[in-house]
Structure 1
Amino acid sequence: MLKQFLIAPLLALAATGAVAQDNPLTESATWAELGNDFIDVATVQDGANLFTVSAPYRAHDAATVPVAITQADGAPLIHSALVIIDENPAPLAAAFTFGEAMTPLDLAFRVRVNQYSNLRVIANTASGSFMAGRFVKASGGCSAPASRDPQMALDTMGEMRLREFDQTASASGQRREAQIMIRHPNYSGLQRDQITQLFIRAHFIDTLEVYQGDDMLFRMEGGISISENPVFRFSYRDNGAATFHIRAHDTAGNLFEQSLHKASAS
């Protein structure tokens, strides 16, 4: 399981396993209406025995709510997953596709939550689709002001950083943890310019691909609910490649591409 993340709420969440049990999914009229837009709800199975979703019951910052999807060692391969926040203006936060080196899945990232909502993950495996999630108390995340000056955000847009962590041993082989951060304002379209008070046009990363060498680790199709300056921390089986290769495309047509050298390959 991930030992730490960039933000305090997830650190606290990881420190006590009981927290995750305090905010299970709740009955949702919204999900009853929209669920079948994403998947055949009648066929979805309980994901409790396949993976765990961690998210705070009451978010410290609605614009950067930490989420972690975690499997136990030896768990079946999750080849893709949807992250859905029922009450957000655009409920589908992200659609992920995973390479085999990500199994067992151990992925953390940050999302915006606009009002009290279920946050659910629907994972797809060879045995069907499974759902788990958490209820999160947060409000205003999609319209919260950006943390950086707009010009500075544009000037640094596309910069990428890599952080690596200790290697761990598992039944699936030697695994490593890495964290990738991408500078991008990820404007939701619901935020206002603090000077003009006009709405800022939506501008966000809509596709992200992360490879180690030529092998895909994961691909994300994202929406307005992925937080500003997206950060992804993940565990993976090292294939010996010297670099991560990252490709990020945004809704303005920009393509950001960079190879980040693994210190572990030095």
Structure 2
Amino acid sequence: MKKYLFVSAMLCAAMMSASAHASDGTEPDRVQRWAALSHRIFGAAPLSPAGPAVTLDMPAQADDAAVVPLTLRIDPAIHAVGVDVIIDDNPSPVAAKIHFGPAADPTLIKLQVRIDGFTNVHAVARTADGRLLETSRFVKAAGGCSGPVGLGGDDPMLNIGAMKMRFDPVPQPDGAAEATLLIRHPNYNGMQFDPVTQGYKPARYIDKTNIQYDGRTVLSMETDISISSNPEISFLYRKVKDGAFDVRIADTRGGSWNHVFPADR
């Protein structure tokens, strides 16, 4: 995913300042930018409006640009096999490429992302029959890429790679169950200022996540610098008796972690 990192931090800051005058995300320059960006990512493959089949819920104005909640809902009728999350004006726009496995219920995904300036956020669902269905939201935010990292003054590197899982006891209408994976990781993107060295923290972020349940893949995910620090990932899965989760993550500095969670504990 590093090939999409084609805008420098300085250019990112300039775009953030210029975008402060934007109103609703439909300006011609934004439309042109998306056309160029989508062609860079998807090539000549046509993108079609998703309509109600894919919905992207985000705040119109972020309370904290470094931790912006994102909820994707996908109609099961389109048989999604994956979805890409793209933040048009971030320095590395492709925030996440998610691939659904046989243990997934791909109708709900929740993430937290960084947003550096007023921007359109796109979600592009990939279907089993090869279609690309696109939807978007315009979000007002500023400075999320360079926002500070940490939890209540703790060292952000403390217990790096530690994981927890939460389970929602209330089943979904279709019988699926919801789980949330919490990962301890600063996800440094190379833009956080270090007051000790007077430079910038070297980039080190999670780029691969794989979640299996009962021996089958729920989802695999490639992520980049736009994912928030200490990320939380919520998803649906098809529950079976005595199933367990096997979670594996890796980061760009060679770190890798594995944890097994019995479901509903």
TM over 0.5: yes
Give the match for residue 232 of structure 2. 231
Residue among 140, 165, 168 paired with 2:168? 165
Residues 132-191 of structure 1: CA deviation (Å, up to 9, x unaligned): 1211000100001112489822221010011111242544xx211111100000001111
1:105 Cα shift? 1.5
CA shift digits 1:196-236 (9 cap, x unpaired): 32100100001000111211111110000000001011122
Q: Provide closer, same or farther for how the CA distance between residues 243 and 163 of structure 1 changes in structure 2, counting only shifts above 3 A.
A: same
Query: What is aligned with 2:250?
Result: 249
Residue 60 of structure 2 corresponds to 57
Aligned counterpart, 2:133: 130
What RMSD in Å do the two structures reach over aligned CA positions? 2.1
**What is the one-letter code of the residue matched to 1:79?**
V
State the 1:95 CA deviation: 0.6
Give the whole-Å Cα distance in 1 for the aligned partners of 2:105 and 2:34. 29
1:103 corresponds, among 94, 101, 105, to: 105
Cα deviation, residue 71, structure 1? 2.4
Alignment-derived partner of residue 6 in structure 2? none
Query: CA shift at 1:91, angstroms?
Result: 0.5
Letter in 2 for 1:75: A
SS at structure 2 position matched to 1:106: strand
**SS at structure 2 position matched to 1:166:** coil
| 1:194, distance to aligned residue in structure 2 (A) | 2.8
Q: Distance in 1 between matches of 2:127 and 2:71?
A: 18
Q: Quick check: 1:167–1:175 contact (8 Å CA) kept in 2?
A: no
1:260 aligns with 2:261: yes
* Identical pairs, percent: 33
- Between 209-218 and 145-154, report the one with greater CA deviation: 145-154
CA distance in 1, matches of 2:257, 2:142: 31
Q: Write the distance in 2 (CA, Å) between the matches of 1:223 and 1:104.
A: 21
Gaps in structure 2 of 5+ consecutive residues: 1-22
The normalised TM-score by structure 1 is 0.84
Structure 2 counterpart of 1:97, one-letter code: H
Cα distance, 1:160–1:197 mapped onto 2, change above 3 Å: same
- Residues paired across the two proteins, number: 239
For residues 1-266 of structure 1, the aligned pairs below 5 Å read 26-27=26-27, 28=30, 29-40=32-43, 43-72=46-75, 74-127=76-129, 128-148=131-151, 152-168=155-171, 170-171=173-174, 174-263=175-264
AA matched with 1:215: R
Cα deviation, 1:7-62, whole Å, max 9, x if unaligned, reads xxxxxxxxxxxxxxxx9863413213222011146611111231111111000100
Structure 2 CA distance for aligned equivalents of residues 77 and 256 of structure 1: 31
Aligned partner of residue 142 in structure 1, secondary structure: helix
Q: Is residue 244–residue 261 contact of structure 2 (8 Å, CA) maintained in 1?
A: yes
| One-letter identity of the residue aligned with 1:111 | V
Amino acid in structure 1 at the alignment position of 2:217: M
- Does structure 2 retain, via aligned residues, the 8 Å contact 1:24–1:134? no
CA 1:122 to 1:197, structure 2 compared with 1: closer, same or farther past 3 Å? same
